[in-house]
Structure 1
Amino acid sequence: MYFGIDIDGTIAVDAYGRHGARYVSEQLALGISRAALARIRSFREFCELPAVQFYRQEHEEQFQQACNMRQDVLELQTKLVPVASAALGVTFLARFGRIAYLSCRSEQRTPGTLARTRAWLRRYGFPEPDQVYLCQHYPYKLLEAYQLLDDEEPLIIIDDHADKLAMYSRVLQVPRRTRPIAEDLFKRLVLVNFACDAPPVVDFPALFPLEALPSWQEKDLLMLMQTVASFTHALYSSLG
Structure 2
Amino acid sequence: MNKFFYAVSSMAFCILLCTSCASTRRITYLQVEPGAVNDTVISSNFDVKIMPKDLLTISVSTSDPEASIPFNLIIPSVQTNNTTNLLSQPTLQNYLVSSRGEIVFPVLGILKIAGLTTQQASDMIVKRLKTYLKETPIVTVRLVNYKISVIGEVNRPNVYTVDNEKVSILEAIAMAGDLTIYGKRDNVKIIREDEYAHRHIISMNLNDANLIYSPYFYLKQNDIVYVEPNRAKRQSANIGSSTSLLVSATSILISLAGLIVNILR
Say yes or no: TM over 0.5. no
Looking at secondary structure, tell me which structure has more strand per residue. 2
TM-score normalised according to structure 2 size: 0.26
- Name which one, 1 or 2, has greater alpha-carbon Rg: 2
Looking at secondary structure, tell me which structure has more helix per residue. 1
